[in-house]
Amino acid sequence: MRRIPLHPLVDYWGRPGPLEWSAVFGRSAPLVVEIGFGRGEHLVRWAQASLDRNVVGIEVAWASIQRALRRIRQAGVTNVRILYANAEWALYYLWPRASVERIVSLFPDPWPKARHVHHRLFSRRFFLRAHRVLQEGGTLLLATDDPGFVEWSLAECPTPGFEARVETYRGELRFGTKYEMKWYQVGRTFFVVEFRKTDPLDVPEPEWPPTMRIYQFTEPFDPSRWQGPDQWSDGDVVVVFKEFVWDPARRVGLWKTVIREDTIVQNVWIEVRWVGDRWRLLPSDGCKFLPTYGLQKALDVLAESLKGREFGSLADG
């Protein structure tokens, strides 16, 4: 198996709040973002052509990220970083307000079936989040071959807030991505919609729990007989406790937990571990997690069922 350089991959796990982008890049420069970069052809060329910009690519598909990391290494570009994340979530939670100059999304999945519309980027909520993160006059670009998607995105776009300009092209390649190539070969017409942030909009800041409450308890507890909760929901957040694994030798129990909230799903292990004279309940060491309200709720629900008392936070615990 060939090793892939991971260093352009941004580690954002475990910490609440937006990232310090100048620290991530080791320099301060205007930020531009590509969402759903696929094979990374455009991302790398954009970085090469914009050495005075810090370029961030966001992708949900790990296979695409691996390809892009190789491409970045081969090209030797240093002003590009990769986020393995859902773009709508990341734009809202990982950037401070008014910090991005330009966002591009090339040939996003159009999700044509009515029951899949909620998967689409360029919903009203997406526009509000993009608006918050863009600088005054900043732009959001959509390229697609799907006229229905263009119409839908224009209807979702808040005005005032943005001004949209639509352009079409045909018989040429402007971005050189896999999907542009695919539709070019069958002679499709392309649409480029540029949404420019023009007017202020009242978009609230995202909320992170200030610190994660974690728990301890000293009451007798036999994990091998324990029947924990199955699930918890308040309508917006759903927590499912899927499975409990108990290692009697090491006195560690692990819950496989799935947390759905906002636009993300987290699969995390939550552990109860005997430490000296007490049990401690917290997200498992070594497991990648985001310190969100859903994860806090999962800890709270388990602690309630175990009668745990708060003893600290992940920041200081």
Shortest Å, Cβ 127 to ligand SAM:
14
**CB of 174 or CB of 196, closer to ligand SAM:** 174
**CB of 218 or CB of 267, closer to ligand SAM:** 267
Strands (E) across the chain are located at 31-35, 54-59, 80-84, 100-106, 134-144, 162-170, 189-197, 213-217, 231-233, 238-247, 252-261, 264-275, 278-283, 309-313
Footprint of ligand SAM on this chain (CB under 6 A)?
A: 35-38, 58-61, 64, 86-88, 106-109, 177-180
Shortest Å, Cβ 272 to ligand SAM:
33
Shortest Å, Cβ 101 to ligand SAM:
19
Shortest Å, Cβ 28 to ligand SAM:
25
Catalytic residue among 109, 222, 230, 234: 109
The tokens for 269 are 């292990």
For 218-245, b/e burial (b = at least 16 CB within 10 A) is: eeeeebeeeebeeebeeeebbbbbeebe
262 backbone dihedrals φ, ψ, rounded to 5°: 50, -130
140 backbone dihedrals φ, ψ, rounded to 5°: -125, 120
Chain position whose Cβ is nearest to ligand SAM: 36
**CB of 84 or CB of 215, closer to ligand SAM:** 84
**CB of 180 or CB of 271, closer to ligand SAM:** 180
CA 247 to chain CA centroid, Å, is 33
**Measuring CA to CA, which residue among 36, 162, 44 is closest to residue 88?**
36
Shortest Å, Cβ 46 to ligand SAM:
12
CB-count exposure of residue 207 (10 Å: 0-12, 13-18, 19+): exposed
Q: Is 109 a catalytic residue?
A: yes
**CB of 25 or CB of 179, closer to ligand SAM:** 179
**264-275/134-144 β-pairing:** unpaired
Which residues are known to be catalytic?
109
